[in-house]
């Protein structure tokens, strides 16, 4: 996937999450509200794409979830390609949201 396509995908995913957050009250009744209060503080971003020299990575909430050198997506031998990046990123983001939402402080 070329860099422009990855950047477009990251923008789309970020916009989708913010639109959902702004348009529904269900966030207020779930643990996910903690994440968005944190995001509103400006201390962290949702999805971020970084290109470092000859390699690239994607972070979610500051946690690296994908990089070109150690691609964890499922490789399908029948079609000789990896699973699409978008569903992989969504799955990893949901895993992180569940872990962060489970944290209980005080």
- pLDDT at position 88 is 94
Contact 32, 99 (CB under 8 A): no
pLDDT in tens, the chain (106 residues): 677 788 888 888 888 877 776 655 555 555 555 555 655 665 567 889 998 888 899 999 889 999 989 899 999 999 999 999 999 999 998 888 888 777 776 6
As a whole number of Å, the CA-based R_g of the chain is 15
The SS3 of residue 54 is coil
**3-class DSSP assignment, residue 44:** coil
């Amino acid at each position: 996937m070329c860099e422009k396509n990855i950047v477009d995908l990251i923008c789309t995913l970020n916009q989708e999450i913010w639109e959902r957050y702004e348009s529904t009250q269900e966030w207020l009744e779930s643990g996910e509200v903690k994440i968005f209060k944190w995001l509103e503080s400006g201390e962290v971003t949702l999805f971020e794409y970084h290109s470092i020299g000859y390699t690239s990575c994607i972070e979610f909430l500051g946690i690296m979830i994908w990089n070109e050198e150690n691609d964890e997506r499922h490789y399908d031998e029948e079609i000789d390609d990896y699973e699409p990046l978008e569903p992989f990123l969504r799955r990893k983001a949901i895993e992180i949201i569940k872990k962060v939402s489970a944290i209980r402080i005080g």
